[in-house]
Amino acid sequence: MKILGIESSCDETACAVVENGRIVLSNVVATSLDEHKLYGGVVPEIASRRHAESISGVVREALTQADCTMDDIDAIAVTYAPGLIGALLVGVNFAKGLALATNKPLVPVHHLRGHIASNYISSDVEPPFLCLVVSGGHSHIVAVNSYTDFEVIGKTRDDAAGEALDKAGRTMGLEYPGGVSIDKLSPQGNENAYTFPRPKVTDSPYDFSFSGLKTAVINIIHNAQQKGEEIIIPDLAASFQKSVVDCLVDNLEKVAVEKNFNKIVIAGGVSANSKLREQAAKMCSKNAFELSIPELKYCGDNAAMIASQGYYEFIEGEVADESLNAYATMPIDKSYKTIKPL
């Protein structure tokens, strides 16, 4: 079965064709990132306009690279939530038009479920497993009981890990996205040079909190400026990155041990982070856990992950009618059927 996936939740306009949820026949991504760099973050209206300009060409290219026409496609999967609403609406509306014109089923896909599925196209891992999903907007620890059954065990109380890295990067004067800049700069720095807290949420031990770390960076910089001391940016980046990764990996280990998981999966844009990949691998080998992290090309936003998850949603009967809408927020454990039964 061939699924055409469409993704437009942030600044990537993407389309892919994936066979049986696992075999990527094409994966095309156009990004407006360079324009957003000028503003230090994603400008929603620019992202929406670039999606509108690029989407037809990106879909055409994905079909061409997969050596397919729409006749070969069994269903159209599209990211419908969560994300920037104007950006999501471009992909959702395009998918609806395409489904109507070609008389194909339309499959709504949750963006974070898609990130998790980037592991299905990178390895042969299958649920059940425990997953750390870390992106620009979300930090969740999720029990993936089956391809379509998700249970949130822990999540951030405030900023997402990616958001904290991006904000810290900005404070350090690094290029957007800060997460990528901090990862690149950190090998040149000493990760023990600056002291950061390892925040814990006392009433809910599986949750994260990153906003204090962001404030700590600001304080370190202000204090140094007041004393006329020099800030060594690579040291600050490496120390900050270490504290974020420690929080993520320590919590993941705690949940896995306490809830008896031995299969661990990591997903989302921050899963590209070298320190996180290294530390997660160490933690998993210490505990004899199996670990899956997506190939680097599938860590960021792409449509192959949406087509992969779309396949599993489709065989479970998750389809939408012509009234499909986009949503800026949506819990990962809610299926489209439950919010809008056909």
Q: Which of the listed partners (Zn ion, ligand KG4, none) does 114 bind, with a CB threshold of 5 to 8 Å by partner kind?
A: none
300 binds ligand KG4 (CB under 6 A): yes
**φ and ψ of 5, to 5 deg:** -110, 145
Give the x-and-dash track for 126-155 against Zn ion (CB under 5 A): ---------x--------------------
19 binds ligand KG4 (CB under 6 A): no
Query: What is d(CA 309, CA 108) in angstroms, rounded to the nearest whole number?
Result: 10
Contacts of ligand KG4 in 254-293 (CB under 6 A): 268-270, 272-273
Q: How many residues of this chain interact with ligand KG4, rule: CB under 6 A?
A: 19
Q: Which is nearer to ligand KG4, 75 or 213 (CB)?
A: 213
CA gyration radius for the chain? 20
C-alpha distances in angstroms, 132 versus 79, 120, 271, 311, 324?
Answer: 20, 15, 9, 22, 29
The 10 Å Cβ neighbour count of residue 86 is 17
- Give yes or no for residue 91 binding ligand KG4 (CB under 6 A): no
With CA atoms as reference, report the closest residue to 236 among 294, 295, 286, 172: 172
CA distance 139 to 152: 11
Minimum Å distance from CB 127 to ligand KG4?
Answer: 20
At 104, is the secondary structure helix, strand, or coil? coil
| Nearer CB in complex with ligand KG4: 162/234 | 162
What's the CA gap between 286 and 238, in Å, rounded? 23
Select from 4, 10, 238, 280 the one that contacts ligand KG4 (CB under 6 A): 10
Give the one residue of 119, 122, 135, 171 binding ligand KG4; rule: CB under 6 A.
Answer: 135
Which one, of 86, 76, 61, lies nearest residue 10 by Cα? 86
| Between 12 and 253, CB nearer to ligand KG4 | 12
In this structure, the dihedral spanned by the alpha carbons of residues 248, 251, 257 and 259, taken in order and rounded to 10 degrees, is: -110
Q: Looking at residues 175 to 204 of the shown chain, list those that interact with ligand KG4 (rule: CB under 6 A).
A: 177-180, 183
Cα separation, 134 vs 151, whole angstroms: 16
Place of tokens 């991006």: 166
Q: Per rule CB under 6 A, is residue 168 in the interface with ligand KG4?
A: no
Specify the residue, 2 or 157, whose C-beta has the smaller distance to ligand KG4.
157
Of the chain, the end-to-end C-alpha distance in Å amounts to: 23
User: Minimal distance in Å, beta carbon 206 to ligand KG4?
Assistant: 21
By beta-carbon distance, which residue lies closest to ligand KG4? 269
Q: How far is the CB of 302 from ligand KG4 (least distance, A)?
A: 9
Q: Which residue's CB is nearer to Zn ion, number 135 or number 243?
A: 135
| Per-residue x/- track, 175-204, Zn ion (CB under 5 A) | ------------------------------
Copy the structure tokens of residue 188: 């040149």
Q: Any contact of residue 136 with ligand KG4 (CB under 6 A)? A: yes
Which is closer to ligand KG4, CB of 135 or CB of 239? 135
CA 38-52-60 angle, to 5 degrees, is 115
Residue 191 near which of ligand KG4, Zn ion, none (CB within 5-8 Å, type-dependent): none
Candidate residues 12, 159, 301, 318; the one interacting with Zn ion per rule CB under 5 A: 301
Minimum separation from the CB atom of position 154 to ligand KG4 (A) = 18
**7 is a contact residue toward Zn ion (CB under 5 A):** no
Dihedral Cα 215, 152, 298, 283, nearest 10 deg: 70
Q: From CA 207, how far away is CA 50, in angstroms rounded?
A: 36
Q: How far apart are CA 164 and CA 185, in angstroms?
A: 16
Task: List contacts with ligand KG4 (CB under 6 A).
Answer: 10, 135-137, 162, 165-166, 177-180, 183, 268-270, 272-273, 300-301
